[in-house]
Amino acid sequence: MLTKRIIPCLDIKNGRTVKGVNFVDLRDAGDPVELAQIYSEAGADELVFLDISATEERRKTLANLVLNVAEKVNIPFTVGGGISSIEDVDILLQNGADKVSVNSSAVKNPQLINDLAGKFGSQCITVAIDAKQIDGEWIVHLVGGKVPTELNLFDWAKEVEERGAGEILFTSMDHDGTKDGFANEALNRLSTTLTIPIIASGGAGNIQHFVDTFRDGQSDAALAASVFHFKEIEIKALKQELRNNDILVRL
C-alpha cells in the first residue's frame, strides 16, 4: 500500500505567499522560499507552488522562484500557473521542479495534456481542477475560480486521465479556506472511478479532516495552506495522529 502524502500549498502572488477564503480576500502568509525550507525540514512529503495570478495576468510562472526553491528543499515540488506550452514546462523542470500543474490551459487546449505527458512523462504532469457545486452539479471553473465552464468535474477528470495526466489536484471552491473539511463525497467518487492519484484540496481545518479525507474520501494525498502557514497544525503531529489512526504515512 502506498503511503498517504501531506502537501503544503503555497499560493504565490507578486512573489509572496498568500491565502484567502473561497479564492478571494487574500492575505500575506510569508516568503515562499523560507516557507518551503521550513516545510521540507518539518516532514512534508511534497510541496505545491501555484502562481495564482499568472493565468489571469497572462504572465509566466517565475522560473527564478523555482531555482531558489530547488536550492533549499530536498523533497519533490510541483509548480503551476500560466503554463501553456512544452517550452514553459521545459524551463521549470530544468530549473529544478519535479512536476508541473496545468489548469486553465488544459481546459482550453486538452491536447496540451497529451503533448506534455508524451514529452515529459505522465509522472511529471498534474492537472489541477477547481470546481464548485451549481444546482447540485460540480462545475469546473477557470482563471483562479473566476470563470465557470460547461464542464462536469467527473467527466473532465476522466478525460484528463485518458489524456495521460499522472495525477489530479482537485480543489473544492466551496470548501476552500473554510476549514470545514474536504469535499470527501466528490473525492471518493474521483478516487474510486479513476486509477491515477487524487490530491484533496480545500477545507482543511483540523487533523480530523485529514483522517476523514484519507478514510472517507479515499484521497491519495491531502493539500492544505493556511493551517500550515499560520502554524495551526504541525506536520509531525499530524502525521503521528494519522499513524495512530492506521493511516500509512512517512514519518
Q: Would you please indicate which residues are annotated as catalytic (active-site) residues?
A: 11, 130
| In contact, 77 and 47? CB cutoff 8 Å | yes
H or E element that contains 138: strand 137-142
Residue ranges in the chain assigned as alpha helix (H): 32-42, 63-72, 86-94, 104-108, 111-120, 153-162, 184-193, 207-215, 226-229, 235-244
Which CA distances in Å does 71 have to 10, 30, 229? 17, 18, 21
Instruction: Give me 215's grid cell.
Output: 478514510
Q: How many residues does the chain have?
A: 251
The C-alpha atoms of residue 43 and residue 141 are separated, in whole angstroms, by 32
Burial degree of 47 (CB within 10 A; 0-12, 13-18, 19+): buried
Crossing angle between the packed helical segments 111-120 and 86-94, to the nearest 10 degrees:
40
| DSSP bridge pairs for 131 | 140, 172
